[in-house]
């Protein structure tokens, strides 16, 4: 039996590394963790945890609509507010925010169909991460 200790990194393939860097860095506000553009790779931090989101350029990858799977969900303080903020900068939501057992979730996708869910724990605050003030 394999013993999984946790998430190391999440990897997404993208067709255009510069466009993806703008989307993940400027629109979503993820900080660059490492940059190996010369090798077609950029990594972004996800909160205060070690795992990150790694983008790998595949120039043959065309734009496509959001994929059914896989989907990566990231915790945010308020998913409905995040949806409003993203729409204000012209990010298309994959779907309107929807209720889940722990709170709310909204999903967005990059140009290559990689789906990110932004989910909160507003209905289960005891299970939420505690953002620093």
Distance between CA atoms of residues 88 and 77, nearest Å: 18
Instruction: Please give the tally of structural domains in the chain.
Output: 2
- CATH for 78: 3.10.180.10
Residue 118 phi/psi, 5-degree rounding, is -110, 115
pLDDT less than 50: residues of the chain: 133
Confidence (pTM):
0.88
Q: What is the pLDDT of residue 7?
A: 84
Q: What is the pLDDT of residue 102?
A: 94
Neighbours of 44 (CB within 10 A): 22
Domain housing 27: 1-60
**Are 73 and 38 members of one domain?**
no
Residue whose C-alpha is closest to residue 73's, from 18, 26, 10: 10
Token pair of 30 as six digits: 């993820």
Inter-CA distances, 133 with 43, 77, 123, Å: 25, 12, 20
């Amino acid at each position: 039996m394999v013993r999984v200790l946790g998430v190391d990194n999440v990897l997404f393939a993208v067709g255009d590394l510069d466009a993806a860097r703008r989307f993940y860095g400027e629109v979503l506000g993820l900080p660059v963790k490492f940059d190996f553009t010369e090798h077609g790779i950029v990594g972004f931090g996800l909160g205060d945890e070690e795992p990150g989101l790694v983008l790998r350029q595949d120039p043959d990858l065309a734009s496509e609509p959001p994929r059914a799977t896989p989907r990566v969900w990231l915790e945010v303080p308020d998913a409905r507010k995040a949806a409003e903020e993203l729409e204000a900068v012209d990010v298309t939501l994959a779907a309107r925010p929807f209720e889940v057992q722990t709170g709310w979730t909204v999903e967005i996708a990059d140009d290559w169909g990689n789906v990110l869910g932004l989910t909160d724990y507003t209905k289960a605050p005891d299970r939420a991460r505690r953002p620093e003030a």
